Amino acid sequence: MGRLQDKRAIVTGGSQGQGAAIVRAFLAEGAKVAIADIAEDAGQALVTELASEYGDSVYFQRHDISDPSSWEGLVTGFGEKYGPVNVLANNAGILRFGAVMDMPVDEYELLFNVNAKGCFLGMQTVARVMTKERQGSIINSSSIEGLGGMPFCTAYAGTKFAIRGMTKAAALELGPKGVRVNSVHPGMINTPMTAVHGGEEAMKYGASKVALKRVGVPEDIAPLYVYLASDESSFVTGAEIAIDGGATATHAFGG
């Protein structure tokens, strides 16, 4: 308890899945949290559930990560409610599969508009606040597909490699101004987003391919976000941290 006392955090995609687990973990450690998501019903339901324990330490705001004006409104409103943001869990994103020869260009553009542009806009907007305060931690959600390729993930992997690269460049730029930037690279995590792509059979297959012989759950990911948000990681920036059950511990033959 108390590892995130005095931390004021925005969690994008915080209504469900991995994002909701991050929200819960942040609140449990003493942070003030905004759940920022386009999933309004799920977000409001989560706030209602959490308010009984955490009161006004958490609220929901509808937020489109691909819209600069939505970011400005989110960060300004957050500052008015809690004070200057000093943690961003840049978690929101979408997943689409498609063969490189067949994927429609509009699907490719959608992935980049949400995943890569959304991450960039988040860093840009909060950095303007954090650098004035000379403190802050930005945690960008990439993927193991930001570390290596996978068939039918050319576009998705492109967005996640982009997040990895932007993280390192921003870490160098913002470090002298007191702001740390790191990327988290989950493997297969059983969330509503991943479950729609193959269901239980996909989960079983994924579990068979990693050292720990199971897929992850959101609660496996959230503690890493707590660490990176806290002052315990004060000398960690520009890092890429895989949390994947051992998926990236080896190489693959034939995909």
* Closest to 28 measured CA to CA, from 231, 226, 229, 233: 226
Does residue 12 surpass a pLDDT of 90? Answer: yes
At 236 the pLDDT is: 98
Q: Which CATH superfamily is domain 8-234 in?
A: NAD(P)-binding Rossmann-like Domain (3.40.50.720)
**How do residues 82-120 score in pLDDT, each as one tens digit?**
999 999 999 999 999 999 999 999 999 999 999 999 999
Catalytic residues: 156
* Closest to 247 measured CA to CA, from 161, 185, 201, 196: 185
Which uninterrupted H or E stretch holds 46?
A: helix 40-54
* Closest to 35 measured CA to CA, from 11, 54, 51, 18: 11
Cα–chain-centroid distance for residue 12?
7
* Closest to 111 measured CA to CA, from 72, 148, 160: 160
At 206 the pLDDT is: 76
At 32 the pLDDT is: 98
**How do residues 111-170 score in pLDDT, each as one tens digit?**
999 999 999 999 999 999 999 999 999 999 999 999 998 889 999 999 999 999 999 999
For the chain, the domains span: 8-234
**Rounded CA separation 47/23 (Å):** 10
